[in-house]
Amino acid sequence: MDNNKKRHYSPKKRTNSKSNAKRSSDGKVRLNRFLAQAGICSRREADTLISTGLVMINDKTVTELGTKVDPTTDRVKYDGREIKFDTLRYFVLNKPKDFITTSKDPQNRKTVMHLIENACIERIYPVGRLDRNTLGVLLFTNDGDLAEKLTHPRNNISKTYLVELNKKFEADHSKEISSGIELEDGQIHADDLYFPNKNDRKTVVITIHSGKNRIVRRIFEHFDYQIKKLDRIDFAGVTKKNLKRGQWRPLDEKEVGFLKLL
């Protein structure tokens, strides 16, 4: 199916499909998992929302952790808004330039949500960020737990970038980046760094696990290189698989399974 063909969905027709979340024999799930699967936050963050009295079940405030809810009959509200128990969705977008990685932009600039808006009826969100001029792999999901896992620094999730520079890359700089360089916010090193074409010394592939802001650009700027093109080609093992710029696809079962095992 052409994934850029507009689909006509009505928000009023949202249905609660069979869920991936674990349910007890009575069909109930823990409230924190309910909120995570609805894309509100991670389960850990949901515990905070619950304990501070920000969540209601059937118009009654609940603060007890471990509370369970029946997705088919109970009405759950957060911040006055009714929350739906959605099927978990996972997508990858080949992000083009000039799109902001955010759900909303106060300056009304183009956001990645404009590119993915017809992917599904569930509310999905970008996992992490790519700056406006960076291309490539960007994941989307409504799985709050997985999004937290993929973005939390302690998990050392790898990202691989294809970098085009304004001049030839020096071998000595490669050694320094691999062993570690000191930037203004601490030391950083590459997990892998190589030339995809030995005859092209201006194009480099670098793999890192750091999620620091603009980290790849800052690594090369440290040696006075200018990046002409920055393209993320792999994030946590997920690639573009020949997607054209601006196109998306759902992750397959193997990809989702791999991400959950990380």
Q: Where do the CATH 3.10.290.10 domains begin and end in the chain? A: 28-83
Domain 158-235, second-level architecture? 2-Layer Sandwich (3.30)
**Percent of residues, the chain, with pLDDT higher than 70:** 90
Q: Identify the CATH assignment for 28-83 out of 3.30.70.20, 3.10.290.10, 3.30.1600.10, 3.90.1170.50.
A: 3.10.290.10
Q: What are the structure tokens assigned to 251, written together?
A: 């992750």
Q: What are the structure tokens assigned to 22, written together?
A: 């674990």
Question: Domain 90-153+240-261 belongs to what topology?
Answer: Alpha-Beta Plaits (3.30.70)
Q: What are the structure tokens assigned to 169, written together?
A: 């890359």
Q: Where do the CATH 3.30.2350.10 domains begin and end in the chain? A: 158-235
Long-range contacts of 42-46 (CB under 8 A, 24+ apart): 42/144, 42/145, 42/147, 42/148, 43/144, 43/145, 44/148, 45/144, 45/148, 46/144
Q: What are the structure tokens assigned to 160, written together?
A: 């691989």
Q: Of 1, 239, 259, 245, nearest to 120 (Cα)?
A: 1
pLDDT tens digits, 111-139: 999 999 999 878 899 999 999 999 999 99
Average pLDDT score over residue span 247-259: 95
Q: Where do the CATH 3.30.70.580 domains begin and end in the chain? A: 90-153+240-261
pLDDT tens digits, 171-222: 899 999 999 999 998 899 999 999 999 899 999 999 999 888 899 999 999 9
* Residue listed under structure tokens 């993929």: 150
Give the pTM.
Answer: 0.75
Q: Does residue 19 register a pLDDT over 60? A: no
Q: DSSP class of residue 21?
A: S
Residues classed as catalytic: 131
pLDDT tens digits, 45-88: 999 999 999 999 999 999 999 999 998 889 999 988 888 777 78
pLDDT tens digits, 24-42: 556 788 999 889 888 788 8
